[in-house]
Amino acid sequence: MTVSADDSLHDSGRPAPTARLFAALRLLRATAAGRIVGLALLVAVLALLSVYPLSMLLYGSLHSTPPGMAGTFNLDGYRDILTRENSITLVNTVGISLAKTVPSLALAVLLAWILARTDTPCRGALEVLVTLPFFIPPILTAMAWGMLGNPQVGLLNQLYQAITGSSAAPINVYSYGGVVWHMMQYSVPFLFLLIVDAFRAMDPSLEEAARMCGASRLRTFRTITLQLMLPALTGGAILSFIRGIENFESPLFFGAPAGIHVITTDIYDSINQRSPPQYQYATAVSFVIMALLFLIVLVQWRLLRGRSFATVSGKGYSPGIVRLGPWRWVTFAVCMLFFIVTVVLPVGQLLIGSFFKFFGFYQWDMLTFEHYEAVFGSSEFWRGFGNTMLLGLIGASATMVLGGLVAYISVRTKWRGRSLIDAMAWLPWMMPGIVLGVGFLWGFALLPRAIPIYGTIWALLLAYISLGTPLSVRVMSSAYAQLSFDIEECSRVHGASWLTTMWRIVIALSWPSFVVGWVLVFFGIMRELSASVLLYSIGSEVLSVVLLKLWVNGNAEQVSVIGLMMMVMVILFRWVQLGFTRRHLGTL
Amino acid sequence: MMTTLKAALVACLAGLALPAHAQDWQAVVDAAKKEGKVVIYDMALGAPYFLAVLKSFETKYGISVESLDLRASELAERIRTEQSAGRHLGDVEMITTTMIEEQRNNGDFVERLPAIPNAANLRPPFKATDYSVPAYVQPMGILVNTRLVKESEIPTSWNDLTDPRWQGRILSDDVRPLGSGNTMFAILEHQMGGDFNARLAGQKPVFSRDMRNDARRVARGEYAIYVPQIFAFASDLKGLPVKLVVPKEGAPYAEMDLAMLKNAPHPNAARLFIQHFLEADSQLLYANAWMPPVVTGVVERANRDAQPFASARLIGPARLAERPAMMALAKKLYP
């Protein structure tokens, strides 16, 4: 471990603004008043980002008309929820989300263990490849799976029929199974990304101790490894479960034809397909869901309270690698199978289809580069791309800094009010995106004119930070929970200032998680549509809006070209990120 | 000095040579050019024919057009929110007739429309109102897969969809929520008689919610028939094994209107834009994308492949007042 508590930050070459910032931070840290001011600032920022838009929605749920219109306060929205039909929809929604979260978590743990803790061949490449599905726009994978798994002419069913001679079509993506499967393609890599670094950043001496005491490998995994992963696993599972409740695309594409209704399609219909739009009902449903989800978060807090999950201590270590012998080819095959099924099959369709005039019609006379020419020759695409990159870079960085601060206060201090800011940061994650987008629209439009946010690119930036903060807080909380308090105390005992300790210990050791969180938030921004479409203004179009326009105008092939380009970016980002993580771990 | 006097003289003579209404309109054009910009709120989402109209307007008048594209409900809510907050950013909206009616019922978002000379060229059944003028229509027909449906079996009437041979082979936009499916449902309920929708429900059509992809699913052979097929969307499918049928009873349609938003910052440019949209050349761009024009003298100029669709018989439109009843009926027939 190269981090030394004796090292200090007395670098004379530090530029003046940084020095001023550090001095301000020192002041904030040094006094109780400073701490209160710091906390108040943080509360104010979170209030603007999450409480303010939610308060607009709360008003909407309690008022007969949306903000800005004459009406009366009543509970009609909440009263309308209490129907038998809605109970069935709720059960459906929870059931589908559970059905995808549990196997996703199991699969993600297996993949994370294989790729972080075993000597499986080509782990580096596999780690990039298995996460790719998460970054593909859902609308594209839905289309691809529709072509692969429809019961009439789906390629997989045709393959089955050709091999077996049967006329049966065993695969039907337009079903409960199809909805769950499509969701899993996103939740497995998402959970994998959230937990893999927790596996990597674990001191193997704890597992070795269990093994020395006679525990089997399985028991060690169950009683030591998994237990120590509890913050990361429960945090990830809850995030994934909530996302499952709020998932919209999978039920819309695969559930609607099979008569499967979930809460988000109900909310979507009440806003977009009722006359007039039922905002009171939509917001009321969302708040009920929010309350239910918050109960789950409270359960997690209770579950983890008072327990220590520190695995990164002052002792030097390198992540223990399990030598699998010939079994490593089995684990390699598991990863490859996952990659082939979730990436090669759908993305292969998109890649091949992007070179033909129409998807699914692979004839020589339809071979073309016109979709690539159309995309790369479009000024709107490049404007959207430029805006998205700008918002992604600033937004992801700001979100991770904010999330890091909230997580630090929540996990590593005993300050009063820490639970409040943690809860405030959670809120946007529990509100379905379709509704939250409306909250931002109402909130920003009704701000006083002296605050020039509405109609500018900054409205999008604030919305993205708000939407990404819950994820960044979870990622950083899990990372901080693994850091032993001893190393911080050791640093202070050796004379390092609080800032030095923060910089050289806490930030240095949680840096890999910060980078993973950054990548997740960055690509979350690239894909975000619900808020973007309501907040973008002329000139500030973002990529997701460009994709929507192309899709609505029947240019699915051009959407695929952009989707494929996003995947190339993902591979590049992940390659840099993993290289960074390895170098970083190598120094520990 | 002499140059200025000459210019003034020429202007006066030109003024004398023009009739009074032309002089008035020239004043609108001049004022619009002075405003220099017009902001359109629309739901075209970058449709090429719409962009072509915008470009022709910019070229003709040198006035820049800014277009904010959103889906219908998002567009309506954005306008409502902006107007409620006193932010008057848009000049013109292009949205369905029923949504304008709804805006008028729920608030004061739309300006009384000043005279638009080209409104005199509207062809039946299209009519301008005090607040809006028709811009274009989205008619709907039947899409068939020509590999799965023999020429002799191709439906020619909406009634043909109730033939038992199509049971389970029809893909449809969901008719229960607001949208094209429900518009078709409501118009055919009137046009085809009371039991038509019940008989169609008996065919057990499969519902979906992505019109663009659904047409391609039919082209790939998942289903034999798709309803309702928006004409303009089918014009993009040339080369695929599909055929768009306009049933003999006619095509149900949704009408898109142009209206001026309250306190529009560029009112003259807005008026000029609406006038330009109703020019025969602008309407021809829509007719060539298989949409019946709303003004006279355009159908006959459309491309040959577009003629049958640009001249299609239209039935409808659906009425706002009937929506709740139609949505309830659809829900009853398709529980």
Q: Which of A174, A534, A556 sits opposite B78 (nearest CB)?
A: A534
> Which residues on chain B are in Cβ contact (under 8 Å) with A66?
77, 80-81, 84
Amino acid at B259: A
Is A167 an interface residue toward B (CB < 8 Å)? no
Looking at chain B, which residue has its C-alpha nearest residue A551? B212
* Range A328-353 average pLDDT: 91
Residue A10 has pLDDT above 50, yes or no: no
**Quick one: pLDDT band at residue A1, thresholds 50, 70, 90?**
very low
Is A363 an interface residue toward B (CB < 8 Å)? no
Residue A9 has pLDDT above 50, yes or no: no
- Separation in Å, CA of B72 to nearest CA in chain A: 8
Q: What is the pLDDT of residue A85?
A: 84
Q: Which CATH class is domain B25-137+254-307?
A: alpha beta
Average pLDDT, chain A: 83
Instruction: Tell whether A244 and A117 lie within a shared domain.
Output: yes
Q: What is the pLDDT of residue B265?
A: 96
- Three-state DSSP state, A213: coil
Q: Is A319 a domain residue?
A: no
Instruction: Tell whether A370 and A341 lie within a shared domain.
Output: no
* Range A241-267 average pLDDT: 87
Query: Structural domain boundaries of chain B?
Result: 25-137+254-307, 138-253+314-333
Residue numbers of B between 275 and 304 with CB closer than 8 Å to A: none
- Would you tell me how many other CB atoms lie within 10 Å of the CB of residue B246? 20
> Which residues on chain B are in Cβ contact (under 8 Å) with A353?
none
Q: What is the DSSP letter of A322?
A: B
For residue A117, give its domain range: 76-312+325-353
* Range A417-433 average pLDDT: 86
Pairwise CB contact (< 8 Å): B84 & A550: no
Instruction: Tell whether A588 and A507 lie within a shared domain.
Output: yes
Q: What are residue B136's DSSP bridge partners?
A: B256
Domain count, chain A: 2
Range in A184-188, A212-216, B313-317 with the lowest mean pLDDT: A212-216
Pairwise CB contact (< 8 Å): A534 & B77: yes
Instruction: Tell whether A110 and A16 lie within a shared domain.
Output: no
**Dist. CA A189–CA A519, nearest whole Å:** 13
- Separation in Å, CA of B10 to nearest CA in chain A: 40
Chain centroid, CA A216 distance in Å: 35
Q: Which of B68, B220, B239 sits opposite A366 (nearest CB)?
A: B239
**Quick one: pLDDT band at residue A390, thresholds 50, 70, 90?**
very high
Pairwise CB contact (< 8 Å): B177 & A274: yes
HEC states along B112-162?
A: CCCCCHHHHHECCCCCCCCCEEEEEEEEEEEEEECCCCCHHHCCCCHHHHH
- Who has greater pLDDT, B156 or A433? B156
Instruction: Tell whether A522 and A585 lie within a shared domain.
Output: yes
Residue numbers of B between 69 and 98 with CB closer than 8 Å to A: 69-74, 76-78, 80-82, 84-85, 87, 89, 98
- What is chain B's pLDDT, residue by residue, as a tens digit (335 residues)? 455 555 555 545 544 455 666 778 999 999 999 999 999 999 988 899 999 999 999 999 999 999 998 888 888 889 999 998 889 999 999 999 999 998 998 888 999 999 999 999 999 999 999 999 999 999 999 999 999 999 999 999 999 999 999 999 999 999 988 889 999 999 999 999 879 999 999 999 999 888 888 999 999 899 999 999 999 999 888 889 999 999 999 999 999 999 999 999 999 999 999 999 999 999 999 999 999 999 999 999 999 999 999 999 999 888 889 988 999 999 999 98
**Chain segment A506-541, per-residue pLDDT in tens:** 777 788 888 889 988 998 898 888 888 888 888 888
Amino acid at B23: Q
Strand residue runs (E) in B162-284: 170-173, 206-208, 225-230, 242-245, 251-260
Q: What is the pLDDT of residue B128?
A: 95
**Chain segment A130-162, per-residue pLDDT in tens:** 888 888 878 888 888 988 888 887 888 888 998
Instruction: Tell whether A385 and A332 lie within a shared domain.
Output: no
**Dist. CA A476–CA A520, nearest whole Å:** 12
Instruction: Tell whether A86 and A41 lie within a shared domain.
Output: no
Q: What is the pLDDT of residue B96?
A: 92
Q: Which of A143, A446, A533 sits opposite B213 (nearest CB)?
A: A143
Tell me the CATH number for domain B138-253+314-333. 3.40.190.10
Q: Are the folds of B25-137+254-307 and B138-253+314-333 the same?
A: yes
Q: What is the pLDDT of residue A512?
A: 81
Residue A315 has pLDDT above 60, yes or no: no
Instruction: Tell whether A254 and A267 lie within a shared domain.
Output: yes
Would you say A87 and A93 are in contact if contact means Cβ atoms under 8 Å apart? Answer: no
Q: Is A320 a domain residue?
A: no
Which residue bears the tokens 């029947």? Answer: A554
Which of these, A510, A564, A435, A467, lies nearest to A201 by C-alpha position? A510
- Would you tell me how many other CB atoms lie within 10 Å of the CB of residue A87? 11
Percent of chain A with pLDDT over 70: 90
Residue A199 has pLDDT above 90, yes or no: no
Give the pair of three-digit tokens for residue A266.
């109900």
In sequence order, the 6+-apart residues with CB closer than 8 A to the CB of A401 are: none
Looking at chain A, which residue has its C-alpha nearest residue B334? A259
Is A301 an interface residue toward B (CB < 8 Å)? no
Pairwise CB contact (< 8 Å): A556 & B179: no
**Chain segment A477-508, per-residue pLDDT in tens:** 888 877 777 777 777 777 777 777 777 777 77
In sequence order, the 6+-apart residues with CB closer than 8 A to the CB of A396 are: A468, A518, A519, A521, A522, A525
Would you say B136 and B256 are in contact if contact means Cβ atoms under 8 Å apart? Answer: yes
* Range A350-375 average pLDDT: 88
Which sign, positive or negative, has the C-alpha torsion A521, A526, A529, A533?
Answer: positive
Q: Is A358 a domain residue?
A: no
Q: What are residue B258's DSSP bridge partners?
A: B94, B133
Is B111 an interface residue toward A (CB < 8 Å)? no
Residue A588 has pLDDT above 60, yes or no: no
Q: Is A317 a domain residue?
A: no
Would you say B269 and B32 are in contact if contact means Cβ atoms under 8 Å apart? Answer: yes
Q: Is A451 a domain residue?
A: yes
Chain centroid, CA B309 distance in Å: 14
Q: What is the pLDDT of residue A551?
A: 84
**Dist. CA A345–CA A156, nearest whole Å:** 10
Residue numbers of A between 381 and 440 with CB closer than 8 Å to B: 438
- Would you tell me how many other CB atoms lie within 10 Å of the CB of residue B260? 24
**Dist. CA A260–CA B176, nearest whole Å:** 14
CATH of the domain at A394: 1.10.3720.10
**Chain segment A442-456, per-residue pLDDT in tens:** 999 989 888 888 989
Instruction: Tell whether A60 and A136 lie within a shared domain.
Output: no
Range in A93-107, A430-444, B55-69 with the lowest mean pLDDT: A430-444
Which of these, B133, B108, B132, lies nearest to B263 by C-alpha position? B108
Which of these, B65, B67, B64, lies nearest to B41 by C-alpha position? B67
- Who has greater pLDDT, B288 or A29? B288
**Chain segment A547-571, per-residue pLDDT in tens:** 888 888 888 889 889 988 888 888 8
Instruction: Tell whether A270 and A290 lie within a shared domain.
Output: yes
Residue A251 has pLDDT above 60, yes or no: yes
**Dist. CA A332–CA A240, nearest whole Å:** 26
Pairwise CB contact (< 8 Å): B209 & A147: no
